[in-house]
Structure 1
Amino acid sequence: MVNVFNLLDERIQEALSKLGMTTPTDTQERAIPVILNNKNTLVIAPTGTGKTESAMLPVMNDILKMSGDDRAGIKAIYITPLRALNRDMLKRLNWWSKELDISISVRHGDTTQHERRKQVLKPPEVLITTPETLQAMLVGPRMKHNLRSLAYVVVDEVHDLASSKRGTQLSIGLERLAKFSKFKRIGLSATVGSPEEVAKFLAGTERDVKIVEVSIAKSLDFHVTQPEVNHSDKQMARKLLTDPDIAAQIRIMIDIIDKNKSTLMFVNTRQSAEAISARFKKLEENIAVHHGSLSKDARIEAEDSFKEGRVKALVCTSSMELGIDIGDIDHVIQYMSPREVSRLLQRVGRAGHRIGETSTGTIITINEDDSAEAWAIARRAHEGEIERMDLHTKSYDALANQICAMALEYGDISSEEVLSIVRKAYPYRDLSRKEFDDVCKQLMEERLIFVNPENGMINKKGKTREYIFENLSMIPDEKRYDVYDVISGRQIGTLDEAFVINFAELGSIFITKGEMWRIVEVTEDRVKVEPIENPQGEVPSWTGEEIPVPFNVAMEVGAIRRIVEEMPDASVKEAVDKIMSAYPTDEYTARKFVEYVRKQIADNFPVPTDKKVVVEDEDKTIMINACFGHKVNETLGRVITALLASKFGSGVAMEIDPYRIKLELPRRIRATDIVKMIKDLEPIYVEPIIEKTLKNTILLKWKMVHVARKFGALSKDVDYERISMEKLLKVFEGTPMYEEAVREIFHDKLDIDMTKMVLEKIRREEIKLIPGRLSPIGNAGFTGGRELMAPETADRSIIMALKDRIMNDHVLLFCLTCQKYSAKKKVMNVDESPECPICGSKMIAALKPWEKDEMELVKKAATLKSEEDRTKVKRVYRNANLVLSHGKTAVIALASRGIGPDTASRVIRKLRDDEEDFYRDILRAERDYVRTKRFWV
């Protein structure tokens, strides 16, 4: 068989020999001849199989064939979705640049004006850039001139772009480029479930494209484990102020890291990344953290420290799924189920980065549902059952952006020509003339373009240029809030607008830079926080950008439950063996799951499965156990809450996970009534009910603001909080902006079609609906947000930490009899029955250190005129009476945060069995204070 490297220029072959690359990989063997044959090509292959060289060797080969004027101008554009990938690609291609004398540059938002000018005057032969910078180049006449002789556009990580609005915008951008330049398209993609869709996205509607798909030649080795707690975990739990099961998870992570030279640890949210960082920091374990909310410098430092071996583990979110070069990786840890098959393949595929190596990964799960979900995903990954990609189609805000861009690019251009260019982009293949005209009409109202009614020419306006350069990206413009520590006064970071609007209430807790903070004030541009020395049982309320579990994965979890349910007479070992024969797991993890399902059966509860939905009631709570995944459960839940809200005339609270819909009702309703409601629900009504319920939701308001910004209808710096929903609806309802906001919510958050299909199956009784009372499986949900945080209930380690904190806090002891004695003492040093050393009185108040002023008020009590001051004096006497009656017990309660004499009295007088319960009540009172203090004026 001919070595495909022999098809390349001799200079390239010599360079390959210098690198020791004499034998092509399977990916290179198959892709290079196709690209050399001048075909539009999509290369789908796992990370580490030489995709970049598959594309760039033929590109550089063609450049070397050119001579003289033929080599003038930009010959190839290499587009990546991240600036970090641009940096990485420049490093990789610089060696080839020097070896072959091919000029290569990078151009993105951080490129200096000096460098940009150099590129205009002497364009590089290969330009590495981002989708947004390509947009800017198309409206720059001189750079546009440099692109006329373009021969290739390579789109790296094309699957990542195709699934976003950035990709939708790029698809039109490439058609605009094709209007004046003849180039071939090469796409590089990780393994995807819909290769044809990605290929059409890359090539557009009027071109053929050859798909080169390389199966996962590297073997994949997954192992799913729910760690078993041992004695050392209980000790670690006390140190970390957490539950033993979470300590066990940390122990397993450390064991894996210690056994390997380099470990990449993926988590699903930035909160998990920060939580792991905080725990490892406490254990003095050296790791680096990498996620999208960190600064560029922090991310580069994390990448370099891992690549250079200064740290053995890098904790990251999806920021590391794409092919940034961080060196060889021995093992991948996935903390909790990766939620999607494609994510698992991309993440574990980063291990064994050298050609032909096995990619090994461990999925550490936190509970039985999480284990079953990870099993389903691991099995599907082995079988190649990957989710289909759901492209954004006919996105109106991206269309508006590109119409304005073409108006600016040409000055004036016929609407027919613009529509023709747009329809060549695959996401807009079905765009109607009416939809196009409606968007143009909206843009005219915003004074961004003018459409001549006589000849249909689209003309730019005075605002067009400013609009385009403010909206080069389809990534939503978000205001940033500075975060300040009220104790030190220093800035500790920033938070994005979405976080602040959806989460930042007074008393809410979050983690950043591995430390935990409580929000004490939110102003127009600042979030003020106080540090939390230890978690004290608090669980951060915000779970971050949750990855939705697909319908088919959730249904397989239901099917695994059914396997156990259908083996009632088998021994536990037989059921465990059956699971272990089908899924990559260990005996303990499988046994935990079998026991989980069998407890449900033993307690006489029906088991929710892929063929059975169990509706449970308890007091004012309804739990619908439905294995339908996030999007279907969100859709079905919204429909049910709308019907119930209409019935009750008041709101219904809803929470969902992939296996449950939890409803909190204003009054009790029976499970049988909910069963009847679902059975009677006509599938055809799902969409109109959902759209109606979206009105007045924060989600729709949020989307409308962002879409309106991309239409130029709202300025980038408009204050979201000051815009009323009523006003937004009045102005935007019936416009393309409103339709786009609704479409995007349907696309990102809901699944109307699958929900209708589920309802049809329920009507045909292929899926049975059963009423019941709240069960162990129903009760087991909604723990995913905890992840590595503190326990939900305060265990002994938390109580001991609280006691330790209070004992080390200071109080001011003040004698109310002689009013001459005062002393600042640690609580631990206060006598059991405090007494004044001057007059012998036991009428001693225990004040907080900042209550010094109250002592002066007591001394002036006879002359006080202010009712507020007199009330403060009464509180001091109430305080002293408690100390007189209860001694040091009262001092401990009064030293606690936010607890005054009245609350302290309730805590002290409560009958309880032991000291720990006393501290639990203090903890509860402190939490109540945090939750309610925002209402105190």
Structure 2
Amino acid sequence: MGNVFELLDPRIREALSELGMTEPTGTQQKAIPAILSGGHVLLIAPTGTGKTESALLPAFDLLMRMSSEEREGIKVLYITPLRALNRDMMKRMRWWAGRLDLNIDVRHGDTTTHERRRQALKPPDILITTPETVQAMLMGSRMRENLKSLAMVIVDEVHELASSKRGTQMAIALERLGRYTEFRRIGLSATVGTPGEVAKFLAGTGREAQIVEVKLAKSLDFHVTYPETIDSDKPLSKKLLTDPDIAAQIRTMIDLIKRNRSTLMFVNTRQSAEAIGARFRKLDQAIAVHHGSLSKEARIEAEDSFKDGKVNALVCTSSMELGIDIGDIDHVIQYMSPREVSRLLQRVGRAGHSIGETSSGTIITINEDDSAEAWAICRRASAGQIENINLYKKSYDALANQICAMALEYGDISATYVYETVCKAYPYAQLSRKEFDRVLQQLVEERLIFLSPEGLIGRKAKTRTYMYENLSMIPDEKRFDVYDVITGRMIGTLDEAFVVNFADVGAIFITKGEMWRIVEVTEDRVRVEPIENPQGEVPSWTGEEIPVPFSVAMEVGAIRRTVAEMAGSPEADIVRYLTSAYPTDEATARSYVRYVKKQVAGNYPVPSDQLVTVEEEERTIMINACFGHKVNETLGRVVTALLASRFGGGVAMEIDPYRIKLELPKRIRAADVAKMIADLEPIFVEPIIEKTLKNTLLLKWKMVHVARKFGALSRDVDYERISMEKLLNVFEGTPMYEEAVNEILHDKLDIDNAIKVLEKIRSGEIKVLTGRLSPIGDAGFTGGRELMAPESADRSIVLALKERIMNDHVILFCLNCKQFSSKRKVKDVEERPVCPLCNSRLIAALKPWEKEEADLVKKAAKNKLAEPEMVKVKRVYRNGNLVLSHGRVAVIALASRGLGPESASRVIGRQREDEEDFYRDILKAERDYVRTRRFWA
């Protein structure tokens, strides 16, 4: 085929010549003829290969060939998942609009009333918008009329929408549009593992979309490195108030940025973005920070600073995967493993100025597991083994939303007509009429719609209000605007969970890479002042961590197994094998070899893709399982439920992709847990999971959000004041309850692969061994390590902790006479507390809120108490025995946050060289408590 630009209108070819675009890219050469042929097309191509123009040039051609009468109304709808992409697209299309005399406009939530009215009266030829704004337009009679002449819909980043409820809602909206007019559907997608699923999502049931897939036009160059610490990292770590290994990572980042003109640095969480930004500022290194919780102005400022060359590095989260134009990028840094193959391809694909040029990326890892994970992902990326898109199917809350939307759109409409329209959307292809009718009935009960005996759906007084409040399927989480009291400028937002847990007046945290102290918290606003202080809390955005897929974690297990099998060979031979098999350096490979060899040298089995190990240390059970976040979360919840039913008490759980850590109320042998896993029938996994979800905060959170989408709870309902019991009583057995459970199963758990694992254990394909806590078992849970505060805390942090504890209050209570009780600061407690009434040293040190425990001890002396109350009494006596044995040292440990008698005993019992190490151990125990407290049943 010749130059495909020849197929386009001469005026477009002239414009292309002016831009110096005389030769099409490989993507454009394949895609333009397919789109011009008139069918539905899914274009799958890497970033930076001319994908956007591949869709826009045929759209321009379509408009140029129409007469002025034919161009009445909106002809092309360009839908993007982000407002930032809307803004970016408008910038790119402004020149084309002027050159071809086209009317192109943008519409989203921030569009002014005046602009909306102008668009309604004089519709543009091309309208750039978001999925949510499509919903709003279908509610307006004039805009709906303008859309009836639609000829083409382009869905940008369609893969991103396909795996979310926003996309499910949009799929129905496209079918609603399709009831008015026939239009072509063009989808633009990054490389995905299941192109056929995305094509079906785009086209809808009963239609075919031609898949045009362009393989990587650019070669990708990956390098994985776990930075070694050098002498200069020690003074740097003191300056940054962090550990030398983190200082080495920062130093490596700075070296890479200096070597390149422009560097995009991806991180997996907003916490990391903020922490790195703060570190760079402390070193007077210019860097911009970009993530979704910053204000629009702050994000635009970061984009423009980078594009204009004011800063040569931009640290960002996944928001920058989606092709926002920020100029040429020389190099991409990925901090920590990118977790998924698709993310690595999207992120590193952003580097390289021109088509055909190599895109280079460096993955800086933070430990040996992280290195192996990055190796596995790089290998899978090179082999084209990309994760499948996990579509939402039959979402009841999105369905409820769209039933209400159609009631509003039509006035009175047949329920059968609505059902048939919905089923044309691919996510609802398997929706039964019975399921549809249950959702319909729920909406009738919530008084959102009217259903006549003849089967007509009608709107009610609150339908319009409901729809305006629920244009989006993104959960309504309360956001607090953060304002600088010095400048009056809005600097970002914090979510409700962070404000509830951390945002006391005087608390210090980081946002936009800078330190702030909270001076006031109101109903919707947090006012702050800038501060220079190393002990800040990094804002905590819940549920943000990217889960490691089952397939990647299993490959990490296979790498472990291979290195373990080679453990008898010379280290140099194993290092040579790793550096030839994976894109890594000798130092990183050597570190990994020593990591595995340490396990082997201690006669510990090496957990792998074929071996699960169950290890014990006091009341901790560590299950080493290379199955990824979702499978480990599933298995962990099942095992936790079985253990909790056996003990009748709470079990704390923490997971990473390679471990399930359990803290038990009493000691249990690893062999008993291993037997429990081996005996577990795979068919029981789902029923156990559903039963255990019933009393979790996670289900409560989901039920509140789903109920809001059904109109059963108002948007401003106070989440904290709703009891779980009340929610279950009202919603169990309804579509709302089922949807909340299904959403958890879809987003957080992986029942199918958990069942596969259990089947492999039963068949012997995966073995289970037991033992004591091993080096690999003890090496986990560093993925969430704070960049801001060292794991082995700096002296200034230790001293601050000591000062806080010394000024905390305790209640000293005599367990002998039960008459003496005294509240005082820890620093005022004697080295060996003695009761002034009876001279006994058996004195408990209770936290101020444990006063009722002292009352229970008094009651127990006179009456027999119920079992739960006796458990509390026994804890008070264990507390007193600790103080009897260790004096004020025990009082200090018991006054710490989250430390009960058992954990305090472990901290006190450790061998250490000096007092500061004692406080470091307390700090570690407090952090562990904060990380795991949400799992206590």
Q: Structures share a fold, TM > 0.5? A: yes
1:748 paired to 2:744:
no
Equivalent position of 1:836 in the other structure: none
Q: How far 1:68 moved relative to its partner?
A: 2.6
TM-score w.r.t. length of structure 2: 0.85
Equivalent position of 2:287 in the other structure: 287
Equivalent position of 1:115 in the other structure: 115
1:917 paired to 2:914:
yes
C-alpha contact 1:271 1:544 (8 A) present in aligned 2 = no
1:360 paired to 2:360:
yes
* Aligned pairs for 1:634-653 within 5 A: 634-653=633-652
Q: How far 1:464 moved relative to its partner?
A: 0.8
1:799 paired to 2:795:
yes
Equivalent position of 1:191 in the other structure: 191
Q: How far 1:581 moved relative to its partner?
A: 1.3
Q: 1:665 to 1:930 in 2, by over 3 A?
A: closer
Mapped partners of 2:379, 2:23: distance in 1: 32
Code of the residue aligned with 2:670 in structure 1: it is A
Equivalent position of 1:234 in the other structure: 234
Equivalent position of 1:722 in the other structure: 721
1:326 paired to 2:326:
yes
Equivalent position of 2:773 in the other structure: 774
C-alpha contact 1:509 1:541 (8 A) present in aligned 2 = no
**RMSD, matched Cα:** 3.5
Mapped partners of 2:538, 2:345: distance in 1: 31
Equivalent position of 2:703 in the other structure: 704
Equivalent position of 2:935 in the other structure: none
CA distances 1:226-280 after superposition (whole Å, capped 9, x unpaired): 0011111111001001111100100110001001110000000000000001100
Q: 1:318 to 1:627 in 2, by over 3 A?
A: same
Count of aligned residue pairs for this structure pair: 851
Code of the residue aligned with 1:659 in structure 2: it is Y
Partner-residue secondary structure (3-state), 1:622: strand
1:313 paired to 2:309:
no
C-alpha contact 2:509 2:537 (8 A) present in aligned 1 = no
Give 5+ residue unaligned stretches, structure 2.
Answer: 808-821, 832-886, 894-906, 931-937
C-alpha contact 2:218 2:359 (8 A) present in aligned 1 = yes
C-alpha contact 2:826 2:892 (8 A) present in aligned 1 = no
CA distances 1:463-522 after superposition (whole Å, capped 9, x unpaired): 111111111111111112356899999997532124446777999985323245799998
Mapped partners of 2:177, 2:144: distance in 1: 9
Q: How far 1:874 moved relative to its partner?
A: 14
C-alpha contact 1:449 1:460 (8 A) present in aligned 2 = yes
CA distances 1:705-735 after superposition (whole Å, capped 9, x unpaired): 0000010111111000010000000000000
Mapped partners of 2:125, 2:678: distance in 1: 64
1:589 paired to 2:585:
no
Equivalent position of 1:252 in the other structure: 252
Mapped partners of 2:223, 2:60: distance in 1: 41
Partner-residue secondary structure (3-state), 1:356: coil
CA distances 1:723-757 after superposition (whole Å, capped 9, x unpaired): 00000000000000000000000000001111111
Q: 1:504 to 1:731 in 2, by over 3 A?
A: farther
Mapped partners of 1:874, 1:547: distance in 2: 42
C-alpha contact 2:912 2:918 (8 A) present in aligned 1 = no
Q: 1:793 to 1:77 in 2, by over 3 A?
A: same
Mapped partners of 2:296, 2:377: distance in 1: 32
Code of the residue aligned with 1:456 in structure 2: it is G
Mapped partners of 2:825, 2:634: distance in 1: 56
Mapped partners of 1:776, 1:872: distance in 2: 42
Q: 1:874 to 1:386 in 2, by over 3 A?
A: closer
Give 5+ residue unaligned stretches, structure 1.
Answer: 810-846, 849-869, 880-901
Q: How far 1:538 moved relative to its partner?
A: 8.3
* Aligned pairs for 1:428-467 within 5 A: 428-453=428-453, 455-467=454-466
Mapped partners of 1:222, 1:782: distance in 2: 25
* Aligned pairs for 1:172-571 within 5 A: 172-453=172-453, 455-481=454-480, 494-500=493-499, 511-515=510-514, 534-535=533-534, 545-571=544-570
C-alpha contact 2:201 2:425 (8 A) present in aligned 1 = yes
Mapped partners of 2:929, 2:164: distance in 1: 41
* Aligned pairs for 1:826-845 within 5 A: none
**Structure 1 stretch displaced more, 599-608 or 560-569:** 560-569
Code of the residue aligned with 1:123 in structure 2: it is P
* Aligned pairs for 1:60-99 within 5 A: 60-99=60-99
Mapped partners of 1:356, 1:7: distance in 2: 24
Partner-residue secondary structure (3-state), 2:170: helix
Q: 1:651 to 1:12 in 2, by over 3 A?
A: same
Q: How far 1:569 moved relative to its partner?
A: 2.5
Q: How far 1:121 moved relative to its partner?
A: 1.0
Q: 1:522 to 1:724 in 2, by over 3 A?
A: farther
Mapped partners of 1:537, 1:717: distance in 2: 30
Code of the residue aligned with 1:605 in structure 2: it is Y
Code of the residue aligned with 2:914 in structure 1: it is D
Q: How far 1:5 moved relative to its partner?
A: 0.2
Q: How far 1:793 moved relative to its partner?
A: 2.1
Q: 1:930 to 1:912 in 2, by over 3 A?
A: closer
Q: Which has the larger radius of gyration?
A: 1
CA distances 1:185-207 after superposition (whole Å, capped 9, x unpaired): 00001111110000000000111
Mapped partners of 1:327, 1:31: distance in 2: 24
> Identity, % of aligned pairs?
72
Q: How far 1:651 moved relative to its partner?
A: 1.1
Mapped partners of 2:544, 2:63: distance in 1: 43
Mapped partners of 1:370, 1:419: distance in 2: 48
C-alpha contact 2:479 2:493 (8 A) present in aligned 1 = yes
C-alpha contact 2:42 2:211 (8 A) present in aligned 1 = yes
Mapped partners of 2:555, 2:924: distance in 1: 40
Mapped partners of 1:377, 1:696: distance in 2: 36
CA distances 1:636-669 after superposition (whole Å, capped 9, x unpaired): 0000000000000111100000000000001111
Q: 1:731 to 1:377 in 2, by over 3 A?
A: same
Q: 1:526 to 1:8 in 2, by over 3 A?
A: closer
**Structure 1 stretch displaced more, 417-426 or 471-480:** 471-480
Equivalent position of 2:758 in the other structure: 759
Mapped partners of 2:117, 2:53: distance in 1: 29
Partner-residue secondary structure (3-state), 2:764: coil
CA distances 1:155-213 after superposition (whole Å, capped 9, x unpaired): 00001111110000000000000000111000001111110000000000111110000
C-alpha contact 2:295 2:490 (8 A) present in aligned 1 = no
C-alpha contact 2:510 2:537 (8 A) present in aligned 1 = no
Q: How far 1:95 moved relative to its partner?
A: 0.6
Q: 1:671 to 1:201 in 2, by over 3 A?
A: same
CA distances 1:441-484 after superposition (whole Å, capped 9, x unpaired): 0000111111112x211111111111111111111111123568
* Aligned pairs for 1:117-132 within 5 A: 117-132=117-132
Mapped partners of 2:660, 2:825: distance in 1: 51
C-alpha contact 1:278 1:514 (8 A) present in aligned 2 = yes
Mapped partners of 1:78, 1:398: distance in 2: 22
C-alpha contact 2:295 2:493 (8 A) present in aligned 1 = no
